[in-house]
Structure formats: C-alpha cells, structure tokens
Structure 1
Amino acid sequence: MAEAPAAPHRTTGSTLLHPLSALLGIPLDQINFVACQLFALLAAFWFRIYLGPSHASSAVRHAFATLFGIYFAVFCFGWYSIHLFVLVMMNYGIMNTASIPNIHRYSFVVAMGYLTLCHISRIYIFHYGILTTDFSGPLMIITQKITTLACQLHDGIGRQAEELTAEQNRLAVKTRPSLLEYLSYLLNFMSIIAGPCSNYKDYIAFIEGRHVHMKLLEVNWKQKGYDRLPDPSPTGAVMYKLCITLVSLVLFLTLTKNFPMAYIVDNEFLDKTPFLSRLGYLYVVTQAAKPKYYFAWTLAPCGIAQGTVKVLAETAGKHFLLSEEDSHAIVREPCC
C-alpha cells in the first residue's frame, strides 16, 4: 500500500499538482491535463472580454494565444513538448521554401513521417510505457492542422478558382502566414491539448474579430427584429457542454474504475474464464473506457466556445465556424 502513490506521480510534465493527484488517486498526467483544460476555459473568458478584437490588436491576441499554448504544452508534457515545437518549425520552413505545386506533398510527408516515428518509438522503445495523456495526442492535432493548411495554401496560390469546389474556394489561403500567425494557429491554448482542428481562415477571422459577423451576415437577421448585427453570447453553449463533461466525468470515475482494462491480460482471467465471458468483459470494458474520451473531447471545445471561435448564435439557432467531431461517432468502434 505504501507504493500506491507512485503511479499518480509518474509524469513527464509538472509535478505541482502531485498532492492533489495523491489525494484523489488519479494519475498526475491526467490531473495536469484536466487542470490545463479548466484553466484554458477561464483564460478564454478573460481573452474574450479583455483581449477582444475591439480591445487588442491581432498581434497581441496571436501572441497571447501562442504563449499560453506553449506553457500548457510544457506543463503537461515537459521535455516531450519539444516534439511539438520541432514539428511546427520544420513545417514552417517547408511552407516558406517549398514550391507551391509541392508544398502540400512535402508538408504531408514530413508531418506524417515525424508523427509515425514518434508512434513507433512509443511502441518499440517505450513499450507504450509513457503515459495515458502523452504528447502524441497534440502531435496528431498539429499534424492535421499542418496538412490542412498546406492543402489550403496550395488551393489558394497554386490553383485556379474554377478548379476548386465552393468549400475549397471558401477555405483557400491566398498568402503564406507570418511566423506569429502560424504559431498561433498551431499552438494556441484553446486547442493545443485536445483539439479540435479548425481551418486557418476561420481561426484568423476569429483573431481579427470577423468570425461572428461573417456568419450572421448569412442569416436574415433584420427579419428577426434586430436593427444591427447582434453579438451572440457563447455562455449557453459552454454550459451545455460543461453539463455533458460533468456526466462523462461521473461515468469515468465509476464505470472506468470498476472495469479495469488491464484485467483482460491477467493470467488468472485468461486461464479460468470461459471464452464467451472474456469476450463479454472485453466489450463491457471497452464501453466503460469511453467516458474518458467523451470528457476530454467535450471539455476541450468549451474553451474554444468561450473564446468565441465557435459561437452559439441564437439568431440563427445553430453553431458556427467550428464544431468538434461527434465524439460518440469517433469512439463507436470498440478499439478505445
């Protein structure tokens, strides 16, 4: 029993919250993850109110989002966060030196290649022994953003408008981003830990304060009784997501803890349990593991919504700009 606290203390990131980890009996890396997500939610309130587009320049908003994102990465993953920064800087070099006809190809090969090497190192060097919330999650998100931006840059500069679909035309990027814009898009505190992935043009519109009006102009708001463009509040969307997060947390603390995944490789379980019972337990334990992902993928967009990258506009009755992938659909396959 004396060695029980050892597991919660195991982390490559900050040990500041180790007392809380030991008190709750939850691994420290998970405590750090949740702490960063909750702090991101609070920071997003402040970001929207005091560093809104009407109070601060785009450069200040970019810098704030980037610095906080870097801090969150270092806090959660320690020196492993270097992998994130290396990947970002390598692809920034590619974006500025590669020819437009090949920029999306080079970016894809480098980003996916680096991500693949990191996954291989986890399997064959660390034997999956790093952590449950390791750096590969943010690395996958950044890889998705890098390849998305590279393709949109290729569409915007290297192809004719007639060759593009309506969606490609809308998202096409006409100029190469500056270093600050690039870092802000990939490392901003609202999405660096658990995503979701946004489009570059939508993110820049959010930073510059054009995101709400862009979408509300598509709505016939004058017929709804408004004499000017309304400024919808994200509070309703945030509270709804937080309720789902709370339910997921309760399920995680009950179901997931009562049906440990490690039991399926226990020798006694394998030797003495009938095959159908083992198959049934495998299904149950897989379902019981899902609330952890529901929690992470629902909490992450709360900070984004509060920062108003995603806005619940009551005048339109729907979410705008960014909606996280349906987490239930993502984890529907029994491979969690």
Structure 2
Amino acid sequence: MWLSASGQSSSTTLPKVTNKVAIVNFVVCQLFALLAAIWFRTYLRSSKTSSFIRHVVATLLGLYLALFCFGWYALHFLVQSGVSYCIMIIIGVENMHKYCFVFALGYLTVCQITRVYIFDYGQYSADFSGPMMIITQKITSLAYEIHDGKNFEINFLFCMSFCCRRMPSLLEYLSYNCNFMGILAGPLCSYKDYITFIEGRSHHMIQSSENGKEEIQCERTEPSPNIAVIQKLLVCGLSLLFHLTISNTLPVEYNIDEHFQATASWPTKVTYLYVSLLAARPKYYFAWTLADAINNAAGFGFRGYDKNGAARWDLISNLRIQQIEMSTSFKMFLDNWNIQTALWLKRVCYQRATFSPTIQTFILSAIWHGVYPGYYLTFLTGVLMTLAARAMRNNFRHYFIKPPQLKLFYDVGTWIVTQIAISYTVVPFVLLSVKPSFMFYSSWYYCLHIVGLLVLLFLPVKKTQRGKKTHENVQLSQSKKFDGKENSLGQNNFSTTNNVCNQNQEVASRHSSLKQ
C-alpha cells in the first residue's frame, strides 16, 4: 500500500535506489508474508498450537518483515506501541483513550513531518510512516475499546460490538500491532476479532447457556479460505497488470499541463480527469486486496456464512471494487473505499463528536494521512462535497424513486456527477503540493466548489429519519444490531451451522436409541 519512495536505511538485499525498486521490495515482502500465512495456518493452526506460540510467531515474523523493508526505522513501530502500552497501564481507564489518541497521532505526525520535509518531499515510496498509520489506528481503537468496555453503561452505543473488558498482555498487544499479516499494509481490524482468530474461535457456533455463560454449541470444521484467497490474488494480478500497462500512460499531472489546458475542450478535460483518476486506483486495489488475501490465507477474516451456506471472508476487507466504480453518491464511494479506515474514523470521531461531526472527521482523516498540503485541500473539498451531496439527495431523490425508468435516469445522472466530483476532489491528494493543486482548481474555475456552496446556501436543510430519532431509539436499534453480531456473527450467517448442529444431534439421538 505504501508506494512512496525514499532513501531510508533498509535491506541491502533489495536496495531502495528508485521508486520501482521500492515497489518491488514491498511486493516481495508481501509475497513472503503470503507464504508465511499459508504455513501459519497449516502448521500452527489453533486446534494444535497454543495461543502463546501463535502470538510469538506472528509478532517475530512481523518484526522481521519490518526490519527487512525499513531497516532501523522499524524501531518507531516498537517505540510507538511500547509508549502507548505504558500510557494504558499508567493512566486510568477514564482517560487512557485520550492520552493514547494524542500520543499516537502526535508521534505519527512528527515522523511524517520528518520524512516529508527533511528527507524526501514529494517522493512516493515504501516509507516507514505507512505501517505507522495502521499501528496508530490499532492503538487508538484498542484504547477506546477498553475505555468503552469499562464504562459499558455510559458508552452503551459504542460497546456492544467492539468493547474489550480486559487489558491485553504485552505480547498480545505487540502481536495485534505488529503481526506479519498486517504490518506492511494492514488492514485495520478490531482487537476482539484478532484475538478471536488467534484463539481459534472465529468459526465456532456460540450460544448463551441458561446460566448466562457463553458456550460452544457446535464445533464446525474450520472453513477453508483457499477459494477466497485465489479470487483475491486474481484481482491483484489484474490490478497490477492494469497499473503497469495503462496507469503510467494516463498521469494525473497531465490535467495541469499548460498545452492541454489551453487546447483541450471541456468534454475532453472532463473525460481525461475521470479516466486519469480511474487509472490511479488499481495500485490501491492491488495493495489492499493482497493484504486481505494474506490475512485470509492465515485463516483471519472469516465472517460467517451467507444464506446459501458459503463461507464469507470479508471481515476485514478494505474495499469493494464494483461498488466503488458504480457509485451513485459521494457517500456510497466513501463507504466502499478504505473501509476499515472509514470505520475507525466513525468509531473514534464521528460518533463521538459533539458538534460538526463531518468536519471533524475529515480533519482527522487529513491529519492521519500526512502533512502534504494536497491532503488538506482534498479533505476540505471533501467536506463541502459531502454536505452538498447530502443536501441534494435529501431534497430531490424521493422524486425519482418511481417509475423504474425515472429511477434509472436518476442513477445514471448521479453516477456521472459522483465520478466527476470524486475525481475533482482527489486531484490535490495525488499532486500533493499547493501550487499544482491550485493550478488545477483554477483551470476549472473552482466550478464544483461554487456549485457546492450555492447548494448549501439555497437548498433547505432536511433532516433524515435517522436524524429525527431520539438518542434512546438510536441506542435501542444499535444494541439490537450489535447483539446480532455479538451472538455468533448473526443468526443468518450461521444458519448453515445450525442445520449441521441439528443434524449431528439427530444422528447422535438415533444412535443412542439403537444402542438401548
């Protein structure tokens, strides 16, 4: 994922001389992690290996990969994790989440400032701040989960699905932050899900007994991730092929080329803007899908069964490509892009913000991503686009629900507008610097900024049904939703498990009656 290029100290086997070599370094390490994941699931499966051994191996392999890729800069991972763990122990549960949040995000920001403004401004390589971004998410997520778990009645809305009722050991903490499956490209996962995987409980059918204690009702054979892994590796191959053959021929920078701006017609400018940003996405598809495949190959990522009894391996998936490319709203695009980061932002910021949650969330996202000015221009523009898109949707969508032909017309129109708005918004994210970003927006006369402001000024603000609900009703609906997930990943997911258990019980009953 971290395709940025710098000259850090790293493995002498694959010296980082150029951007291409840095990418090769990343890919080789991820392929090694994939092989290690297959070995981990085959020879260290939870049924015959203790959790302690699984934690130790996952941590040591992760630290080895970090040292191989980043050299002694990998010590930042241990320093950030170690100090955060000390904060969690020393500071009380009431305030630990605040101190961990400030320290982890502050340490990440200092490292990003050092890398960008001292070492290699504007160079995209496999930089050490990339893994630190994931570790920062994990540190802050766990701190909030423990805080919520210890204040269950107060933080009821946030507790049901992700709360943690005990402090992890140092080994568990390092394993969660630095395991080989996610050290290079993540994705973020909840501590609760990770421990469930390490202890081998992710595929069991859990049911509460009469005394209120959770017990394993039926032990199913661990489902195989092979099909899911192969499918994701195929997506990786296609994404990499697209990136190597097409992406480089459609650079985003060409949008600010003086000759192009002077000679191209507006339809050409709009088309090239969309196509160039479309071509920039496959490298993210490749990195995130490969990271997901590595976790699946190790046995992590199982999310129950669908209605047809097929295993689902999308617990920590970070994107949905089809939904991204077919998005008909700004929200739909954001909900399917970098999913785990979006969930992190929602849990630690959006749901807890006392005012302007959308603005606060975009600001946090910009700070977390880094210190390039282009990031802040993108996320400030994103705030405007999100609020304007929400206002448009709330005011007009209900007029286009029926008949189906009108709905199709609406969907096509909103798809075109969404793709143009997304491309317009993220150009500074790719260009990084202030001058080229303003050159692009100036060439477009800030048209979408102006349209967004006009929409917010003149369209009435209409609250959705969700906004009209009382806090108590929100808590009730959330508790029902979370109870479903807490109870063995949902009854629908485990319908197949129930059938198997019932069949097993019936066979056992017949066998005992025959013996009598």
Name the TM-score, length of structure 1 as normaliser.
0.82
2:297 to 294, 306, 314: 306
Give, in whole Å, the separation in 2 of the partners of 1:94 and 1:9: 32
What secondary structure does 1:238 align onto?
A: helix
Per-residue deviation, 1:185: 0.3
1:95 corresponding residue in structure 2 = 88
Give, in whole Å, the separation in 2 of the partners of 1:275 and 1:94: 58
Q: Deviations over 1:208-267 (max 9, x none)?
A: 111111xx447xxxxxxxx96232111111111111111101101111222244555667
2:34 corresponding residue in structure 1 = 41
1:147-158 alignment, distance < 5 Å:
147-157=140-150
1:238-253 alignment, distance < 5 Å:
238-253=229-244
2:11 corresponding residue in structure 1 = 14
Contact 1:53 1:208 (8 Å CA) reproduced: yes
What secondary structure does 1:48 align onto?
A: helix
Give, in whole Å, the separation in 1 of the partners of 2:265 and 2:125: 28
Q: Alignment identity in percent?
A: 45
Residue identity in the other structure for 2:70: F
What secondary structure does 2:95 align onto?
A: helix
Give, in whole Å, the separation in 1 of the partners of 2:275 and 2:281: 10
What secondary structure does 1:211 align onto?
A: coil
1:169 to 150, 160, 173: 160
1:105-120 alignment, distance < 5 Å:
105-120=98-113
1:110-259 alignment, distance < 5 Å:
110-157=103-150, 159=151, 161-165=152-156, 168-213=159-204, 216-217=205-206, 229-259=220-250
**Structure 1 unaligned spans of 5+:** 1-7, 219-226
2:47 corresponding residue in structure 1 = 54
Residue identity in the other structure for 1:144: Q
Contact 2:66 2:184 (8 Å CA) reproduced: yes
1:77 to 48, 59, 70: 70
Residues 1:136 and 1:236: Cα distance change in structure 2 (over 3 Å): same
1:5 corresponding residue in structure 2 = none
Residue identity in the other structure for 2:52: A
Give, in whole Å, the separation in 2 of the partners of 1:280 and 1:321: 33
1:276-295 alignment, distance < 5 Å:
276=266, 281-295=272-286
2:490 corresponding residue in structure 1 = none
Asked which structure has the greater RCO (Cα within 8 Å, sep 6+), the reply is 1
Residues 1:130 and 1:94: Cα distance change in structure 2 (over 3 Å): farther
Q: Deviations over 1:123-156 (max 9, x none)?
A: 4323525542212221111111111000011112
Give, in whole Å, the separation in 2 of the partners of 1:172 and 1:153: 6
Residues 1:125 and 1:273: Cα distance change in structure 2 (over 3 Å): farther
What secondary structure does 2:94 align onto?
A: helix
Contact 2:203 2:220 (8 Å CA) reproduced: no
1:330 to 320, 333, 337: 337
Residues 1:253 and 1:11: Cα distance change in structure 2 (over 3 Å): farther
Contact 1:9 1:15 (8 Å CA) reproduced: no
Residue 67 (structure 1) aligned with residue 74 (structure 2): no
Contact 1:41 1:303 (8 Å CA) reproduced: yes
Give, in whole Å, the separation in 1 of the partners of 2:219 and 2:53: 28
Give, in whole Å, the separation in 1 of the partners of 2:265 and 2:119: 31
Residue identity in the other structure for 2:337: I
2:344 corresponding residue in structure 1 = none
Contact 1:84 1:139 (8 Å CA) reproduced: yes
Residue 31 (structure 1) aligned with residue 24 (structure 2): yes
Give, in whole Å, the separation in 2 of the partners of 1:133 and 1:118: 14
Residues 1:174 and 1:139: Cα distance change in structure 2 (over 3 Å): same
Contact 1:232 1:312 (8 Å CA) reproduced: no
Aligned residues: 313
Give, in whole Å, the separation in 1 of the partners of 2:83 and 2:198: 24
Name the TM-score, length of structure 2 as normaliser.
0.55
Give, in whole Å, the separation in 1 of the partners of 2:280 and 2:274: 10
Larger Rg: 2
Residue identity in the other structure for 1:256: S
What secondary structure does 1:162 align onto?
A: coil
Give, in whole Å, the separation in 2 of the partners of 1:278 and 1:293: 24
Residue identity in the other structure for 1:135: F
CA RMSD of aligned residues (A): 3.0
Per-residue deviation, 1:13: 2.3
Per-residue deviation, 1:269: 6.1
Contact 1:232 1:314 (8 Å CA) reproduced: no
